[in-house]
Amino acid sequence: MPRELMLDEKTAARNMAEIEPKYSSQEAVVEANRCLYCFDAPCIMACPTGIDIPGFIKKISSGNLAGSARTILKSNILGASCARVCPTSVLCEGACVMLDRDELPIKIGRLQRYATDYVFENDVKIFDPPKKKSGKRVALIGGGPASLGCAAELAQLGHDTVIFEKKEHAGGLNTYGIAYYKLTTETSLKEVELVKSLGIEIRTGVEVGKDIQAKELEQEFDAIFIGVGLGHTYKLDIPGEDLPEVVEALEFIEELHVNPLHEVPVGRRVAVIGCGNTAIDAVTQAKRLGAEHAVIIYRRGEKDMPAYAYEYDIAKKDGAEFVFHAVPVEVLGKDGHVVGLKLARTEMGEDGRLNVIPGSEFELPFDMVIKALGQEKMTDMLKGMFPDLELARNGVIQREPATGQTNIPHIFAGGDGANGGSEVVNAVGEGKKAARAIHRMFTGETVEGPVQWTRIGVVNAKPVGSGLDNPIRVPELETTYSAGGK
């Protein structure tokens, strides 16, 4: 049967409210005062944008919220959205030394949100325009987090930038592709306005390769940054996939960002194929829109799923169900609409390959199927724009990780189109590193930092060095130490 509208306006708004409410001023100060303000703070090393975390928390404890937000936003222009969507348990909070004391980590994400929200709610001016302009111009293809991070850094270094975004609004997945209860469109667009306030031009509704050609950009600009994301979700390649109630996860999530919440239809029984973080966003969104049953179907087991543990917990708390070791073999239809899925059981073979068990087929009733199988690479589009651009074997842009520079010297890249799919904070960090490399190409100057003011004045210590250069994820640290490394 067709998808239905399940909720009234008030119920939809309540169900889609953010998971963790904003701190009150008292809560924020109490939490900030728990911080030990470590000198060699591991949380800084775990942040892909290198925020001076003890520094911004110290300012909260003293009531300097504008200064706190400035510390955050100078390192990460999208600090407000990252405060909401970062997987803090495997980044800054997971590295917190409080865990070594068998205590809860400092709630860095919520404190970061508290400080950055203050700036937006009170229209506080954080940045001044650069004192001098270089005369150099950079074009940025795609208006997502990588390009926004790159453009913000370039603007502060005195270079003119123009972002080309094919959609109505910039922001990329922040604006269109993250579950509404995590990040609202309003928050993302406020950040876009902050980026624009640096003097950055954003041309929306302009698709490079269609409305303007890449060759024109190469003629008009001194450098180009490619910040495109990924393409459509991979196909199931099974009968019935073309039925109208079979949709891509990101398309389903986008509906909540472009339409009133109560006007987004959903099935009563929803199947989500895949078990990554986007699949979790889709299944929880379906439940919060009123689906009676929302079920994730995953070909492997619970321990193998790529979704983060805290995402898994969110889905279970929302009443999502899970069917492991199963793959869809057919979308069942009746009268032109989805009525169910035919599934087959899987097992791991001795050779390490996943096999479908013969004769294990079974059927489950569904009226909506959401595909969350990962996204295709933008290989054809990239080759169409830049025929000489080198791509890696997996289809992402080949570039130098420390600088983002590609085999074409004046072209740089970052974000999902270059890393294959990672977090927002990684994209911002990659954009920032590329901006510094572009600046060095223009001027010969090397930008050092971010500066950690909490380290200044300490004998034989350098107040720089952070996760911007080489972010360390907590699971990697734990693996190293458990193996006897240092």
pLDDT at 131: 77
DSSP letters for 159-214: -EEEEEESSSSS-THHHHTS-TTT--HHHHHHHHHHHHTTT-EEEET--BTTTB-H
Confidence of residue 481 (pLDDT cuts 50, 70, 90): very low
**Which percentage of the chain shows pLDDT scores above 90?**
86
Q: 337: buried, middle or exposed (CB in 10 Å: 19+, 13-18, 0-12)?
A: middle
Q: Are 327 and 356 in contact (CB under 8 A)?
A: yes
Place of tokens 């009563």: 268
CATH for 246-371 (3.20.20.80, 3.50.50.60, 3.40.50.2300, 3.40.190.290): 3.50.50.60
pLDDT at 460 over 80: no
Residues 457-479, mean pLDDT to the nearest whole number: 69
Q: What pLDDT is recorded for position 466?
A: 78
Residue 478 has a pLDDT of 59
pLDDT of residue 465: 67
Residue 92: exposure state from Cβ atoms within 10 A (0-12, 13-18, ≥19): buried
Predicted confidence (pLDDT) per residue in 325-379, tens digit:
999 999 999 999 999 999 999 999 888 899 999 999 999 999 999 999 999 999 9
* Most confident region among 35-44, 126-135, 436-445 by mean pLDDT: 436-445
pLDDT at position 143: 98
Q: What is the largest CA-CA distance in the chain?
A: 77
Backbone φ and ψ for 31, nearest 5 degrees, come out as -65, -40
Backbone angles phi, psi at 430, to 5 degrees: -65, -40
Say how far apart CA 294 and CA 299 lie, in whole Å.
17
Enter the DSSP assignment of 415.
S
Q: Look at residue 40 in the predicted model and tell me its pLDDT.
A: 79
- On the question of pLDDT at 461 being above 70, the answer is no
Q: Contact 185/140 with Cβ under 8 angstroms?
A: no
Mean pLDDT computed over 292-304: 96
Q: What pLDDT, on the 0 to 100 scale, is given for residue 486?
A: 43
- 149-174 pLDDT per residue, tens: 999 999 999 999 999 999 999 999 99
Percent of the chain with pLDDT strictly greater than 70: 94
Average pLDDT over residues 287-309: 96
Give the distance from CA 344 to its chain's centroid.
33
Give the mean pLDDT of 444-465.
Answer: 71
Beta-sheet strands, E only, within 313-402: 321-324, 326-334, 337-348, 354-356, 362-365, 368-371
d(CA 379, CA 390): 10
Check pLDDT > 70 for residue 475.
no
pLDDT at 482 over 60: no
Write out the two tokens for 357. 């068990």
Where are the domain boundaries for CATH 3.50.50.60 in the chain?
Answer: 137-231+376-443, 246-371
For residue range 259-285, list pLDDT tens digits in order: 999 999 999 999 999 999 999 999 999
The model's pTM: 0.94
Position 459 pLDDT exceeds 60: no
Q: Which tens digit of pLDDT belongs to each residue from 171-222?
A: 999 999 999 999 999 999 999 999 999 999 999 999 999 999 999 999 999 9
What does the pLDDT read at residue 157?
96
What integer best gives the mean pLDDT of the chain? 93
Map residue 363 onto helix, strand or coil: strand
Rounded Cα distance between 65 and 120, Å, is 11
DSSP state of 110: H
Q: Which CATH number fits domain 137-231+376-443: 3.50.50.60, 3.40.50.280, 3.40.50.1820, 3.60.15.10?
A: 3.50.50.60
Write out pLDDT tens, residues 396-453: 999 999 999 999 999 999 999 999 999 999 999 999 999 999 999 999 999 987 766 6
- CA distance to 250, 283, 314, 332, per residue, from 292 (Å): 21, 11, 17, 19
